[in-house]
A and B are shown apart, each in its own frame.
Chain A
Amino acid sequence: MRVSMDLELKDIPGQLLLVLKPISDFKGNLVTVVHHHEKRTPRGTIPVQVVFEIKADKLDDIISKFEESGVSVVSVDEKRYLEHGTVILIGHIVHTDIQDTIDKMDETGCAELVDLNLSMPKIDCPSSACLKIDAVNKEELNLVIELLKKIAVEKDLLVIEPIESELRV
């Protein structure tokens, strides 16, 4: 998921690293950092806004790390995934690098694969998978399904998406 945080850092060198390191340690993906040097607070701290992608279950860990190291967390605004989509894939799903397929979807930052149910009848037979995708809104859900369809063409997979009236914005 995508998280936007307002933080306050002490005005001494090396503070930004205390923010960036935990994000990268927990395999987050930094989107933007805005350092408001000119907006020094009455407390003498510097406001910083960071936006990053992170697996939902790692967010609390990151916040604890910040607090341990004296970075104060003013607000956390996580994007809420309100749309839930289901898509079925048929083909050689595993052999065509399923991790890569998942990563490409998660990289969009606007949607996330939350469940994957794989059914492999026999070696060499095409397998089938049910993917549950959470997205911020219908537009983003449509975008990620379009992306999946593009990946599927490259990997010779069949994508079965919901009917148009289910996806209509």
Chain B
Amino acid sequence: MKTIRTSIIGFGAVGQGVAKVILSKNEYLNNMGIDLRVVAIADSKTAVIDENGLDLSAVLARKLEQGSVGSENIGGTEIIKTVEHDLVVEITPTNINDGGVGLGNMIAAFEKGMDVVTSNKGPLALKYCELEEMAKNSGSQFKFEATVGGAMPIINLASETLAGNKILSMEGILNGTCNYILCRMMEENAPYDQMVAEAQELGIAETDPIYDVEGIDTACKLVILANAIFGMNATYKDVSVTGITKITPEALLLAQNNGYDIKLIGEVNGSKINVSPKLVPKDNPLAVGGTLNVASLQTDISGPITITGRGAGSIETASAILSDIISIYKD
């Protein structure tokens, strides 16, 4: 049995999901030869540390009751630098302007030769190549399946399962919020504003939905795919982005009468990285409804391969983080 000591930096929806998944999959992990011990957890203000392994149920309960994980006044970056451990699970908020704390945390981890698993898109959308380079130089493993498509295993599908294929292009729906809004506008023949409000009420859209509806979130995910799958050395600046804010119910009706849905489609094709609303034939596998995500990879020898799944959610995203952890440490 391999003992892996890990920290969880960021303990919001995904962080708590990771703790729950580790608790429920403990035996499964043991069977894979992995003894996963969480030795530190940090949120924005507090931290809790136990080098022998934290009681995750107790930390989850405390976060729920008191809003904080512990009483120690030590930041996430400080934990990475000072507490002895092997793996950093970096799940602080995404910041696509400067990478936010996540970027500093990843750099600190690589400087110490630690492995990193993350769902935080910001640092990758801005500094993919630099981070990969640092990880390589320090012998660290760096996995980020959860940054794109939540539970939908697109990166690992392309890089591992489809080994031997050349991936020629990719197109898909990588933002569940936009997909929900467009589907509902079509169903109800309702204006954009009204369906954004409904999505916010249901917790599907954030209070400030701009990252989603302007296509920025999709663009960040495309940057990660362009680098990880297509080896492109791209950053956010290389993406042409059009969101869904101008879509009208009339346009959706016209599309529908001609056998199409309108979807916010992200694509990587040749050197082109593009996000824009597109017409998807109703019988095309990309025409998924609700908050689902979908991606279709065009391969040279297997033809098109399409996967769909839940693109967000606490447990769903945590599942992608867990699969990255297992793929690093299984024998």
Q: Which residues of A contact B (CB under 8 A)?
A: 86-88, 90-91, 117, 119, 121, 126-130, 132, 158, 160-166
Which residues in B have their C-beta under 8 angstroms from that of A117? 254, 257
Contact between A160 and B277, CB atoms less than 8 A apart: yes
Question: Please, which residue of chain B has its CB at the minimum distance from the CB of A115?
Answer: B258
The yes or no answer to B83 lying at the interface (CB within 8 A) is no
- Besides A119-B250, A160-B251, A162-B260, 10 new A-B residue pairs in contact (Cβ under 8 A), listed by A number: A88-B254, A119-B253, A121-B248, A160-B262, A160-B279, A163-B286, A164-B171, A164-B267, A165-B296, A166-B279
Which residues in A have their C-beta under 8 angstroms from that of B242? 158
Complex formed: what's the CA distance from A88 to B253 in Å?
11
A88-B251 CB under 8 A given contacts A130-B257, A164-B267? yes
For the complex formed, measure the closest distance between the CB of B325 and the CB atoms of chain A, giving whole angstroms. Answer: 34
Q: Which residues of B contact A (CB under 8 A)?
A: 169, 171, 242, 246-248, 250-251, 253-255, 257-258, 260, 262, 265, 267, 269, 276-281, 284, 286, 296, 298, 304
Question: Please, which residue of chain B has its CB at the minimum distance from the CB of A117?
Answer: B254
Complex formed: what's the CA distance from A41 to B289 in Å?
66
Contact between A130 and B247, CB atoms less than 8 A apart: no
Contact between A128 and B250, CB atoms less than 8 A apart: yes
Complex formed: what's the CA distance from A90 to B247 in Å?
7
Which residues in A have their C-beta under 8 angstroms from that of B246? 90-91, 126, 158
Contact between B250 and A86, CB atoms less than 8 A apart: no
Complex formed: what's the CA distance from A158 to B251 in Å?
11
Pick from A119, A126, A162: contact of B279, CB below 8 A.
Answer: A162
Complex formed: what's the CA distance from A86 to B262 in Å?
12
Q: When A and B form their complex, what is the total count of cross-chain residue pairs whose Cβ atoms lie within 8 Å? A: 74
A86-B279 CB under 8 A given contacts A160-B255, A164-B269, A165-B298? yes
Complex formed: what's the CA distance from A129 to B251 in Å?
7
Q: List 24 A-B contacts (CB under 8 A).
A: A86-B258, A87-B279, A88-B255, A88-B262, A88-B279, A90-B247, A91-B246, A117-B257, A119-B253, A126-B246, A128-B254, A129-B254, A130-B254, A130-B258, A158-B246, A160-B255, A160-B262, A163-B171, A163-B265, A163-B267, A163-B279, A164-B169, A165-B284, A166-B279
Question: Please, which residue of chain A has its CB at the minimum distance from the CB of B258?
Answer: A86
For the complex formed, measure the closest distance between the CB of A149 and the CB atoms of chain B, giving whole angstroms. Answer: 10
Which residues in A have their C-beta under 8 angstroms from that of B296? 165
Secondary structure class of chain A's binding surface, majority of residues = strand
Which residues in A have their C-beta under 8 angstroms from that of B169? 164
For the complex formed, measure the closest distance between the CB of B84 and the CB atoms of chain A, giving whole angstroms. Answer: 49
For the complex formed, measure the closest distance between the CB of B277 and the CB atoms of chain A, giving whole angstroms. Answer: 5
Which residues in B have their C-beta under 8 angstroms from that of A127? 250
Contact between B260 and A86, CB atoms less than 8 A apart: yes
For the complex formed, measure the closest distance between the CB of B259 and the CB atoms of chain A, giving whole angstroms. Answer: 8
Pick from A90, A130, A163: contact of B284, CB below 8 A.
Answer: A163
Question: Please, which residue of chain A has its CB at the minimum distance from the CB of B276?
Answer: A160
For the complex formed, measure the closest distance between the CB of B87 and the CB atoms of chain A, giving whole angstroms. Answer: 38
Complex formed: what's the CA distance from A160 to B264 in Å?
10
Contact between B304 and A165, CB atoms less than 8 A apart: yes
Complex formed: what's the CA distance from A87 to B254 in Å?
10
Complex formed: what's the CA distance from A139 to B325 in Å?
46
Contact between A130 and B255, CB atoms less than 8 A apart: yes
A119-B254 CB under 8 A given contacts A126-B246, A161-B279? yes
Which residues in B have their C-beta under 8 angstroms from that of A121? 248, 250
Complex formed: what's the CA distance from A126 to B319 in Å?
43
Complex formed: what's the CA distance from A134 to B234 in Å?
36
Which residues in B have their C-beta under 8 angstroms from that of A88? 251, 254-255, 262, 279
A163-B280 CB under 8 A given contacts A86-B260, A128-B248, A158-B242? yes
Contact between A160 and B278, CB atoms less than 8 A apart: yes
Which residues in A have their C-beta under 8 angstroms from that of B257? 117, 130
Complex formed: what's the CA distance from A56 to B306 in Å?
41
Contact between A162 and B258, CB atoms less than 8 A apart: no
Which residues in B have their C-beta under 8 angstroms from that of A160? 247, 251, 255, 262, 276-279
Which residues in B have their C-beta under 8 angstroms from that of A130? 254-255, 257-258
Contact between B253 and A162, CB atoms less than 8 A apart: no
Pick from B247, B267, B278: contact of A162, CB below 8 A.
Answer: B278
For the complex formed, measure the closest distance between the CB of B195 and the CB atoms of chain A, giving whole angstroms. Answer: 16
Question: Please, which residue of chain B has its CB at the minimum distance from the CB of A89?
Answer: B251
Question: Please, which residue of chain B has its CB at the minimum distance from the CB of A159?
Answer: B276
Question: Please, which residue of chain A has its CB at the minimum distance from the CB of B278?
Answer: A163
For the complex formed, measure the closest distance between the CB of A47 and the CB atoms of chain B, giving whole angstroms. Answer: 45
Which residues in A have their C-beta under 8 angstroms from that of B286? 163
Question: Please, which residue of chain A has its CB at the minimum distance from the CB of B296?
Answer: A165
For the complex formed, measure the closest distance between the CB of A32 and the CB atoms of chain B, giving whole angstroms. Answer: 34
